[in-house]
Structure 1
Amino acid sequence: MSLSPPSPSSAATGATGQRAEPSAPHPATEALFRAIEAQRQTDPLIGAKLGAKDIFQKLLHGMKGERGVHAESLLCALGALAGYACQASLREQALAKGQPETAAFITVKSPDGKTYFFGEPLNQALAEGPYSVWSLAAGAAQHLGCQTLPDLKPIFEHVVQSVGTSAFGRPRLPQGRVASDTPINYVKALWPALLPTVKRYCKEPSEWPMLFAAAAQEAMEASKAVLAPELALLIVMECAIPMSKVDLAEGHTGQAAASAGLAPKNAPPARRDSPSARQRWTRVLLGTNEGRILVLASALYLAVGLLAKVSTSMASALGVVGVLGVYMPLLLLFVAHRLGVLRRDFVSSRFDTVCMLVAALAPFLALGKLVLFR
């Protein structure tokens, strides 16, 4: 199956097309899901694989116009949905554990008051894990002949720098390559319409990003006659990365699902749950590489302090306690500064990790010298 080449008229009119009417449960459908459940024993991802084909067909049917399907728009929609699925799956997993649904995230407020989500678990699902959106989409691109994969670093940097501005979430594509709508509008409109189907196929929320990434693979294959795999992959990731950060509870408007015939009426707003200061610091200290380094270093400092109290004079022991008493708050302030002032995706930066490691180990080495070479 192929997609039509983009045209100025199709890019301007939006994702118009036939309406995807929901069908009543059918015995064959029920038999399909029973077979999927049975096959999970040998292929745990069978649901995500088959669900990807179903989602792809739904969007292909819903976004078809007189000239076929606009390839850039289909890839933009699936990339955006794959990115947001990373966040939505972590929310669902947190709720299943009895935690606040934003427990896995570092929450950032932009100057315009909007909320954005960052954090290591989000990056794992998006670009770092073996079944991440990036891994699956890049694998499909290479299978289609892609020789040079796009660099994700500039995309991540642009997302961080554009938070709170009109440039956020707008894919930067070559001239003449424009989707019919913005990624946020696709997500806002299509996610509530497609989520019931996704849940039917996927046993665990962790499979949601894989399903949409596999659907993007289908779209990349279908569009190979009109889009180079490098460009198709770029579209997917330019849309996926920013959409993994957005808060759908905030006011975004769109027409994508209505024009594609998929939008449910009176869809409830997404839930929001702001973490407390204690929950935020727990995530920072136990859920990030830098935080774990800080906790480990603190334990080492305590051990050195106890040894110093036994083996050295009282003056030396007081000196150890004094150094720790001044240094540890400064280290915590450094963490807060990196998170709150620079508003970076904290765990994704190697510079942050190196700085924290050096800062954490330097006084430990100094105290070790004090004890061993006094």
Structure 2
Amino acid sequence: MLLFKENDEQKLKRISKNAGNVVQMFNAYFKTPKGIDATMELVFAAAMAGHACHRSVIAQHGKIAEVTTKDGRKFYFGDDLNKYLLENKFSVVSFCTAVTDYPKDKVIEIVTSFANHFTDENYTVCGNNPKSLYEQVESCWESIYNNMTAKYCKDSSEWPILFGVVLQNILMMSLKAGAPKDEATRIAIECAVAVSKMDKESF
């Protein structure tokens, strides 16, 4: 008896159905008396998507290149990471550009800018302290892993897809609320790229 094998569209449909629960959770978390803090929600969703890429590579024992700064902090690069972040139709960046038509050359500029500036003393992730943002993302990841991430994904290769879909939805909500398209997309991609390169050894 052959086991049913999902095609890409079926996989995306299954994951997307559950991604709505994560979106609702973020909406509730970032709600203020004046409404949802759309910018911080976008930053956080993007950071979670970047973290999912990193976690997926580690879980699958993928190849990852460590770069150690002069003060001993470590950051992580490589093709296995880029596969989830940048380089296929289900990559995190692809989910962003699919709804905004953000040009590829601008994506490359963001990636290059991170590579050139992540060791700067005053480097921020879209104005946010990298250590603080990473710690919040790590805490959220651990707290929702069993009830959401592991429950909604069949294996670790699907983690970036889940959070890529979450990010896409939150980006679209941000645009509907009036955020400038290019600026919102830049924030989403920049945060995902930056956090994908980090772990606890980066601080």
TMscore range, shorter length: 0.7 to 0.9
Answering whether residue 190 of structure 2 is matched by residue 190 of structure 1, we say: no
Q: Percent same amino acid among aligned pairs?
A: 26
Aligned with 1:58 (options 25, 44, 53): 25
**Residue in 1 aligned with 2:195?**
243
Give, in whole Å, the separation in 1 of the partners of 2:35 and 2:143.
Answer: 22
Give, in whole Å, the separation in 1 of the partners of 2:202 and 2:108.
Answer: 27
Answering whether residue 164 of structure 2 is matched by residue 231 of structure 1, we say: no
Give, in whole Å, the separation in 1 of the partners of 2:93 and 2:13.
Answer: 20
Give, in whole Å, the separation in 1 of the partners of 2:63 and 2:14.
Answer: 25
After TM superposition, what 4+ stretches of structure 1 lie above 6 angstroms from structure 2?
none
Question: What is the SS of the residue equivalent to 1:45?
Answer: helix
Contact 1:141 1:233 in 2 (8 A): yes
Aligned with 1:204 (options 135, 146, 155): 155
Structure with higher Rg: it is: 1
TM-score when normalising by structure 1 = 0.48
Contact 1:80 1:186 in 2 (8 A): no
Contact 2:51 2:192 in 1 (8 A): yes
Q: CA deviation at 1:51?
A: 2.7
**Residue in 1 aligned with 2:119?**
164
Gaps of 5+ in 2: none
Question: What is the SS of the residue equivalent to 1:140?
Answer: coil
Q: CA deviation at 1:160?
A: 1.5
Answering whether residue 42 of structure 2 is matched by residue 83 of structure 1, we say: no
Given residue 152 of structure 1, which amino acid in structure 2 is its aligned partner?
V
Q: CA deviation at 1:150?
A: 6.6
Aligned with 2:71 (options 112, 127, 131): 112
Q: Map 1:1-374 onto structure 2 (within 5 A).
A: 41=6, 43-94=10-61, 103-142=62-101, 151-171=106-126, 183-196=133-146, 197-223=148-174, 224-248=176-200, 251=203
Given residue 233 of structure 1, which amino acid in structure 2 is its aligned partner?
T
Cα distance per residue 1:179-232 (max 9 Å; x no partner): 9x9642442332212222111000011111111111111112222222022222
Contact 2:171 2:188 in 1 (8 A): no
Contact 2:74 2:201 in 1 (8 A): no
Give, in whole Å, the separation in 1 of the partners of 2:190 and 2:135.
Answer: 15
TM-score when normalising by structure 2 = 0.85
Q: CA deviation at 1:123?
A: 0.9
Contact 1:150 1:230 in 2 (8 A): no
Give, in whole Å, the separation in 2 of the partners of 1:219 and 1:40.
Answer: 30
Give, in whole Å, the separation in 1 of the partners of 2:114 and 2:177.
Answer: 30
- Alpha-carbon spacing, 1:44–1:170, altered in 2? closer, same or farther (3 Å): closer
Contact 1:112 1:164 in 2 (8 A): no
Higher relative contact order (CA 8 A, sep 6+): 2
Given residue 151 of structure 2, which amino acid in structure 1 is its aligned partner?
R
Give, in whole Å, the separation in 1 of the partners of 2:141 and 2:33.
Answer: 25
- Alpha-carbon spacing, 1:47–1:205, altered in 2? closer, same or farther (3 Å): farther
Contact 1:45 1:207 in 2 (8 A): no
Question: What is the SS of the residue equivalent to 2:76?
Answer: strand
Given residue 125 of structure 1, which amino acid in structure 2 is its aligned partner?
Y
- Alpha-carbon spacing, 1:84–1:168, altered in 2? closer, same or farther (3 Å): farther
- Alpha-carbon spacing, 1:41–1:121, altered in 2? closer, same or farther (3 Å): closer
- Alpha-carbon spacing, 1:152–1:234, altered in 2? closer, same or farther (3 Å): same
